[in-house]
Structure 1
Amino acid sequence: MVVKPDWLRVKAPQWQRVGNVKELLRDLGLNTVCEEASCPNIGECFNEGTATFLMMGPACTRACPYCDIDFEKKPLPLDPTEPDRLAEAVVRMQLNHVVITSVNRDDLADGGASQFVAVIQRIRDRAARTTIEVLIPDLCGNWEALDRILAAGPDVLNHNTETVPRLYRRVRPQGSYQRSLDLLQRVHETTPWIYSKSGIMVGLGETVAEVEAVMQDLRRVGCDILTIGQYLQPSSKHLGVQTFVHPEQFAAWRTLGESMGFLQVVSSPLTRSSYHAEQVRSLMAQYPRQRPSQQLS
């Protein structure tokens, strides 16, 4: 058994603030990946009044053995009121930056792209100054569905690579490493004004060289933002941790990623794909990009 080191200890949250956010989410009938995926940063994020909203769930159509989201329940039909309720939460929480993700919905022809489009539009209507990040599944390679999400105009398009190619069959059996790279490359090539982002977990048996090869692949397809975090086993039913990576190695990856040309690298044991995601607002100010409608004729 691999013993969890001291650097992975999380400060106890202020439960009054956590309770307030949970009450708001329950009032609006919303799910968060913070709760569904047992994120270790839930206390910190909820205390700051932030959350990563989980749409179209909580049941997922894939059974990734590292993930704590339920895959045994039957997925429900899409709820047409969900985008409005999510936009209401953004307004009530006065969010400057919102992250919206979803379970995999391989049962839907467009993988749920229409729900992403609807929620982006509702937030734009009600909270125009809020920057929007969507963390999307691979849509089974349906690039027309991806194009519809991109046309809705999120500020950041995030799709996680999750692990190194050698471990895909064990860690992400229904995914495809190349398909994930193709998705990110399409974002870069068709909508270069949208910031592209990806994340990987470590501690599942990968080597340092394999992680750095993934970093190179992500830069090759034009990925702008990278997150690297330690995998933590949600329960005894999930994949076990092979290694607890030392913080010095995370710092080395951050330095390497910055030298490769990533605009932002968030790399630490407790990093998750949406952890401190609001920092992208300062990145957007430092590296502004013009959408076609903003360009001069």
Structure 2
Amino acid sequence: MTPTTRKPDWLRAKLPSGPAYKATRQLVESNKLHTVCQSAQCPNIGECWSRGTATVMILGNICTRSCNFCAIQVGRPTEYDLGEPARVADAVAKMGLRHCVITSVARDDLKDGGASVWAATIRATKYKNPQCAIEVLVPDFKGHLDQVDIVLDAKPDIFNHNVETVERLQRPVRVQARYDRSRSVLRHAKSRGFTTKTGIMLGLGETQEEIAQCIRDIASDKTDILTIGQYLQPTPQHWKIARWAPPEEFAHWKKFGLELGIGVIESGPLVRSSYHADEQSQKYTGVEHLNTQNTLAAH
């Protein structure tokens, strides 16, 4: 479906409102946390924050990568905040969370790509919140598996790294990233026994066969969880939307991936990496989300 200036009805998201939304915003602000919900202009901020969930982003809010699909600010980051791991752990404790998702900007300016801060954040959060399952959404660390190991040694419950799009579109869309590199990071985590997760977007200009091959690749890497969502162009300067994929197409790819052996697939126009992450992970973590107030997605 060719895009128009008007989004289709199925892409209309819930507007931010309600006491839970306000409480989540106040908690994020009081702990001086960055969220991908805000930085990446996530369309689900109204729904998620109204559920008492948010996606926290560590290592600052300035990225060293210039991916053409992403709304996060690009530039030269400042030094990272040494107090951030403790503040993330404190926010998780205040919300009484059972599932926490943590992400970061890419920090290619740091010697270890920020892996040590990742590990410190995971450990601090685990120590203060032993009941909480921790999901991490990491950059590719330029393929340095020793840096990936620093994160894995902190023992997150779910290891997520997004391939984002099909192989042909990697260089123009992700610029500094590589398809094979992302797959190698996921395979490495799987080889160490971790539950792995990845995500792709539709509407970037991919063909149906390219989507099918990408999902086959994800399945062949023994990835456990897959998210599939619609690409939304953040600004006129970003990568142009090629089409609006209809809901029935997302249903088709979910069925396709499940038949290939992928354990859990969340597929829909508004799906993002952290969307309903607590529900996706139950099969692997054994942690039930006791109510809608028990997830912090740090993405």
- Per the TM superposition, whether the score is higher than 0.5 is yes
Residue 259 to residue 274, structure 1, CA distance change in 2 (3 Å): same
Deviations 1:65-120 (A, max 9, x none): 11000003x20112111000000000111111011000000011111110110011
Residue in structure 2 matched with residue 62 of structure 1 by the alignment: 65
Residue in structure 2 matched with residue 186 of structure 1 by the alignment: 188
Residue in structure 1 matched with residue 159 of structure 2 by the alignment: 157
1:276 equivalent to 2:276? Answer yes
1:14 equivalent to 2:8? Answer no
Residue in structure 1 matched with residue 90 of structure 2 by the alignment: 88
TM-score normalised by L of structure 1: 0.93
- The correspondence of residues 139-158 of structure 1 with structure 2, limited to 5 A, is 139-158=141-160
Conservation of the 8 A alpha-carbon contact between 2:157 and 2:285: no
Residue in structure 2 matched with residue 41 of structure 1 by the alignment: 44
Residue 177 to residue 65, structure 1, CA distance change in 2 (3 Å): same
- Shift of residue 15 of structure 1? 4.0
Greater shift, 85-94 or 17-26, is seen at: 17-26
Q: Measure the CA separation in 1 of the matches of 2:55 and 2:169.
A: 27
Conservation of the 8 A alpha-carbon contact between 2:266 and 2:280: no
Greater shift, 277-286 or 136-145, is seen at: 277-286
Runs of at least 5 residues in structure 2 that lack an aligned partner in the other structure: 288-299
Residue 278 to residue 37, structure 1, CA distance change in 2 (3 Å): same
Q: Measure the CA separation in 2 of the matches of 1:158 and 1:218.
A: 12
Q: Measure the CA separation in 2 of the matches of 1:71 and 1:92.
A: 31
Conservation of the 8 A alpha-carbon contact between 2:14 and 2:44: no
Residue in structure 1 matched with residue 209 of structure 2 by the alignment: 209
- Shift of residue 282 of structure 1? 2.2
Q: Measure the CA separation in 2 of the matches of 1:6 and 1:172.
A: 28
Residue in structure 1 matched with residue 296 of structure 2 by the alignment: none
Residue 286 to residue 251, structure 1, CA distance change in 2 (3 Å): farther
Deviations 1:256-290 (A, max 9, x none): 11111111000000000110001134212679xxx
Conservation of the 8 A alpha-carbon contact between 1:51 and 1:98: no
Q: Measure the CA separation in 2 of the matches of 1:83 and 1:20.
A: 21
- Shift of residue 24 of structure 1? 1.2
Runs of at least 5 residues in structure 1 that lack an aligned partner in the other structure: 288-297
One-letter amino acid of the structure 1 residue matched with residue 265 of structure 2: V
Residue in structure 2 matched with residue 99 of structure 1 by the alignment: 101
Deviations 1:16-58 (A, max 9, x none): 3222211111111100101100000001111111111101120
- The correspondence of residues 101-250 of structure 1 with structure 2, limited to 5 A, is 101-189=103-191, 191-192=192-193, 194-250=194-250
- Shift of residue 5 of structure 1? 0.8
Q: Measure the CA separation in 2 of the matches of 1:281 and 1:130.
A: 12
Conservation of the 8 A alpha-carbon contact between 1:50 and 1:95: no
Conservation of the 8 A alpha-carbon contact between 1:15 and 1:43: no
One-letter amino acid of the structure 1 residue matched with residue 11 of structure 2: L
Conservation of the 8 A alpha-carbon contact between 1:161 and 1:177: yes
SS of aligned partner of 1:196: strand
One-letter amino acid of the structure 2 residue matched with residue 211 of structure 1: I
Q: Measure the CA separation in 1 of the matches of 2:112 and 2:64.
A: 14
SS of aligned partner of 1:133: strand
Q: Aligned residues: percent identity?
A: 44
SS of aligned partner of 2:63: coil
Residue in structure 1 matched with residue 292 of structure 2 by the alignment: none
Residue in structure 1 matched with residue 293 of structure 2 by the alignment: none
One-letter amino acid of the structure 2 residue matched with residue 236 of structure 1: P
Q: Measure the CA separation in 1 of the matches of 2:255 and 2:280.
A: 18
One-letter amino acid of the structure 2 residue matched with residue 250 of structure 1: F
One-letter amino acid of the structure 1 residue matched with residue 17 of structure 2: Q
One-letter amino acid of the structure 2 residue matched with residue 71 of structure 1: V
Greater shift, 272-281 or 156-165, is seen at: 272-281
TM-score normalised by L of structure 2: 0.92
Q: Measure the CA separation in 2 of the matches of 1:118 and 1:50.
A: 22
